[in-house]
Amino acid sequence: MRRRVRVLRVAVAVVAVAAAAGCGSSSSPSGGSPSSDGKTTRVTVGIIPIVDVAPLYLGQKQGFFDKRGIELKMELAQGGAAIVPGVVSGQFQFGFSNVTSLMIAQTKGVPIRSVVNGAASTGDTVTDISGVAVKKDSPVKSAKELAGRKVAVNTLRNIGDTTVREVVRKDGGDPSKVEFVEMPFDQMPAALDSEQVDAAWMGEPALTIARGQGARVVASPFAETDPDLTIATYFTSTRLLKENPGLVGKFTEAMAESLEYASAHPDEARRMLSSYTKIDGAVLKDLTLPTWPTEYDMASLEKLASLGEEDGIFDGKKPDLDALFS
């Protein structure tokens, strides 16, 4: 296994760039370091309302961003593919996205850069943070039987369908025959129950909700693809990185501290979920949390890139992982 890019080193690097460039302070929404009179920088982060982003909210509550002069605002989206254009346009200063969406964007020339890790698989193929679920009485018993079936994913051409294809392939099925349907995670349990789809690839809390309705999990795409799979990261535009590396460095430091705190305090992270999701007590108690390492797992990112190439989602171009994740 090859791990790389300790986010705290990234933070130090961008702050050093800021110092070399002689960046001044600002309190404008577009970025800046806190000024000597205590003003803060308002920063908007585009996120998906899933368990993976709990450290961001927990870090806000713990004051990790405040002490670095960052006033956070979170805006919700359906998936990483919808967040990328918001970051590039300046609607968001930072965004949270699955790494496949970031790779696709980069191959299209979209000027973005990952700055800090977001979430990773638990590596547990029985109770990971995502799974492909079917109704209790479904004839589908294994991943290969998803071929020829209608499978829901939150967004098309992202880490969901990439890893679902991989588990179908590994189980001896034809991944090209899986029919993917796009819908929000929170609609998937009902869609599965009403047989609008044959199966649904779900993250938490949708997966636990579906299980509570009797659904069966037939595959754990993240853990089965790679037990150390880096799933998602926080990213920014290369423009903001160039114009205000000091802000990027402060966000990176605060987010790294948030990841470490969430990892050390899982019960607090679990309780934080009720602040931005509609999760009832029983689901909150039973759902699986991701792991929150502060490092990317580059070997898993390379594997995802290779799978994306094999499935043709990059339109013939190869993502530059060194440029995107370093």
Query: Do 3-121+228-325 and 130-225 come out as alike in CATH topology?
Result: yes
Cβ atoms within 10 A of the Cβ of 20, count?
Answer: 9
Assigned token pair, 314: 């990059």
First to last CA, the chain: 17
Looking at the structure, give the CATH architecture of the domain made up of residues 130-225.
Answer: 3-Layer(aba) Sandwich (3.40)
- For the stretch 212-265, pLDDT in tens is 999 999 999 999 999 999 999 999 999 999 999 999 999 999 999 999 999 999
Residue 1 scores a pLDDT above 50: no
Q: Tens digits of per-residue pLDDT, 171-185?
A: 999 999 999 999 998
Characterise 178 by phi-psi region: left (phi > 0), alpha (psi -120 to 50), beta (else).
Answer: beta
Q: In angstroms, rounded to a whole number, what is the distance separating the alpha carbons of residues 161 and 31?
A: 35
Containing H/E element for 115? strand 112-120
Cis peptide before 205 (omega within 30 of 0): yes
Q: What are the residue ranges spanned by the domains of the chain?
A: 3-121+228-325, 130-225
What confidence tens digit (pLDDT) does each residue in 85-94 have? 999 999 999 9
Q: What CA–CA distances, in Å, run from 193 to 31, 273, 298?
A: 45, 25, 37
Topology of domain 3-121+228-325 in CATH is D-Maltodextrin-Binding Protein; domain 2 (3.40.190)
For residue 28, the SS3 value is: coil
- Put simply, whether the predicted model's pTM sits higher than 0.75 gets the answer yes
User: Which band of pLDDT confidence, cut at 50, 70 and 90, is reported for residue 2?
Assistant: very low
Quick one: average pLDDT of 133-146?
97
The pLDDT assigned to 38 comes to 66
Please report which confidence band the pLDDT of residue 52 belongs to, taking 50, 70 and 90 as the band edges. very high
